[in-house]
Chains A and B, each alone.
Chain A
Amino acid sequence: MSLFSMTGLVMKWLLRKPYTSRYPFEPRQPLAGSRGTLGVTMAACAFCALCAKRCPTQAIEVDRAAKRWTIDRLRCIACNCCVEICPKKCLEMKTAHGIPTVTKDRETFS
């Protein structure tokens, strides 16, 4: 590579702002179609358990008698299967990724 083009490249990268973002001071904006975390609206849920049956990682458990819907966030692979199958459309795939966790708790909704 000639010295001239190299100097041009050096000047280009010297003058423009960094390519990387200043995370965590500037959080990354999720893209519109991104599969982040699973959200649930319990008011519409009929506890049909189709989501639990379809889930390939058995992350979702539905207790029809106790009207309880639980999810293991660490097992969930955000495949969107449950969202596609839900007859009541009470599940949605949010674009933002979940917050880090240090415990293996199940999240319970009722």
Chain B
Amino acid sequence: MATRTVIPFGPQHPVLPEPIHLDLVVEDEKVVEAIPSIGFIHRGLEKLVEKKDFPEFVYVAERICGICSFIHSQSYCQGIEEIMKLPVPPRAHYLRTIWGEISRVHSHLLWLGLMADAMGFESLFMHAWRVRERVLKIIEATTGGRVIFGVCKVGGVRRDIDAAAMRNVLAELAETERETKEIVKVFLNDGTVKHRLCGVGALAREDAYALGCVGPTLRASGWTNDTRKLGYAAFRELSFEPVTRTEGDCYARVAVRCDEIFQSIDLIRQAAAKIPGGELAVKVTGNPDGEVFVRTEQPRGEVLYYLKGNGTKNLQRFRVRTPTFANIPALVKSLQGCSLADVPVLVLTIDPCISCTER
């Protein structure tokens, strides 16, 4: 029997954008067990809810994560609106949907770039981020910020996208779609990429469910589970089917995310065609009193928000269960039995967002 050795992976590692630590128990080159530990960038944002007024806390919620920032603020606002029974204008719902999907395109392109980098395919990484830059410019032109949108508020949204700006967004997205197709062709058909991804870290359908996976990681294992299907914001009026794959390996997770980029662009087109006129926000009076659970679909999967108000301007309790946290058990499972050289790629396939996870 080979000797077992423990190799520390992270928190500082070239493949990790954020710090997570894994103790890899290896026999020769094969990983037998992976023990994760988190907690390197805990910021105590949940406790901060007791200090900030509930309308002000939108800015904090948005800063939980630097990539799925908009959907965090949207989830928080949806929760408060549900407690306070606020009639959010339909236009605001549509604008939130559009911005949410743009942020998904940007997040998936960012992840594709990181994935290419993890595989050692650096030119592909640069091409993915070149396309992402176009999406960031759409975000900056419509919201004013590149990463922190700052447009969501309790009761609606703070900015509008007028008809001319919407035409520009759609034109830019058409160009993004064309450029993304070129990149996706490489991700899905290139021999070296397939050799690196196919069959690596396969997660069985039953395991994915039992371990509580969410988002693309779950859908790559064959489950048609997408929180957008609950019909929050404007999703109930848009037609789409969750993207799924059955293989459950790294290649399937890449393929799901690639297809989701095109799905999101299609959803934006549908929303832009159906967007109604009217107000952007309603006036908010009073304080939230009650509790609520909110589920929304982030680029990485389902996020769960729990908000509890007690009739004062500060919330009493705020809790976030982020998709990366839900996907860590699946990561640990899929790392068992893999080759040491595949660990960086496998860690990236769950699209780890550690600042989200630790809040």
List chain A positions with a Cβ less than 8 A from chain B. Answer: 1, 9, 19, 31-35, 56-57, 77-80, 84, 93
Contact = CB atoms under 8 A, between A and B. Distances in A.
Given A1-B189, A19-B130, A93-B144, A31 B137 contact: yes
Nearest to B59: A56
Given A1-B186, A34-B144, A56-B52, A79 B150 contact: yes
A93 B56 CA distance: 19
Contact of A34 (B130, B140, B182, B185): B140
B142 interface: yes
A1 B56 CA distance: 51
B158 interface: yes
Q: How large is the interface on B (under 10, 10 to 19, 20 to 34, 35 or more residues)?
A: 20 to 34
Contacts of A77: 59, 148, 150
Contacts of A34: 140-141, 144-145
Contacts, number: 40
Nearest to A55: B56
Interface in B151-166: 158-159
A31, A78, A79, A84 — most chain B CB neighbours (10 Å)? A79
Contact of B143 (A32, A33, A93): A33
Nearest to A20: B130
26 contacts: A1-B190, A9-B182, A19-B130, A31-B140, A31-B141, A32-B141, A33-B141, A33-B143, A34-B140, A34-B144, A34-B145, A35-B145, A56-B52, A56-B56, A56-B59, A57-B59, A77-B59, A77-B148, A77-B150, A78-B144, A78-B150, A79-B59, A79-B150, A80-B144, A80-B150, A93-B144
Contact of A33 (B52, B56, B130, B144): B144
Nearest to A57: B59
Contacts of A78: 144-145, 150
A94 to B, nearest CB: 11
A35 B59 contact: no
Contacts of B145: 34-35, 78
Given A1-B185, A1-B189, 14 more contacts: A9-B182, A31-B140, A31-B141, A33-B140, A33-B141, A34-B141, A35-B145, A56-B52, A56-B56, A56-B59, A77-B59, A77-B148, A80-B150, A84-B158
